[in-house]
Amino acid sequence: MKRSSSLVCSLVAATIMGSCVGSAATMADDGLAIDYRQQVMKTKQAQTAAIGQILTQTVPEENIISHFEILLLATRQSKAAFAKKVLGGNSQPIIWERWDDFSARLARVEADLVVAIDTLRTQGVTNAGELAVTVTGCKDCHDIYKK
């Protein structure tokens, strides 16, 4: 994909107020790669928090399936977000030594979320809490691959 560096710079400046020194600067690129994968993870965090809030029955439950869907999309985004080996952030370097295992975990969470969403659609949201805990795989992966 061809990218306009000035557009990228304005977007970055507008969203994170960071400095933008252009795509030739490898360190800045690496910093963005780390920031990007953390943004994807924050999306997952926000969705699991929202699902938890819905389960307390204090906020409307009609959005619950769409929170699972966003979780599914963010899980799909994670593979590309981590694909390039960029050491740093809170990622353990073994991610890229055991890439097959790391990406298989993402694929498993993705497949489980597809089934969970189908279950919620067909059977209602009564067991949403259980599904959220069993299919998201957050802790299992973090225990091994996150500092």
In this structure, the number of other CB atoms found within 10 A of the CB of residue 51 comes to 22
- For ligand HEC, give the closer residue by CB, 4 or 143: 143
Cβ 98 to ligand HEC shortest distance, Å = 11
Token couple for 109? 């969470």
Q: How many CB atoms lie within 10 A of CB 118?
A: 10
Binding site for ligand HEC (CB under 6 A): 34, 37-38, 41-42, 44-45, 48, 71, 89-91, 95, 102, 105-106, 109, 136-138, 141-142, 145-146
Q: In sequence order, what are the residues at sequence separation of 6 or more whose Cβ sits closer than 8 angstroms to the Cβ of residue 57?
A: none
Specify the residue, 4 or 26, whose C-beta has the smaller distance to ligand HEC.
26
Nearest-CB residue for ligand HEC: 89
Q: How far is the CB of 109 from ligand HEC (least distance, A)?
A: 5
DSSP label of 126: T
CA 58 and chain centroid, separation:
26
Nearer to ligand HEC, 6 or 42 (CB): 42
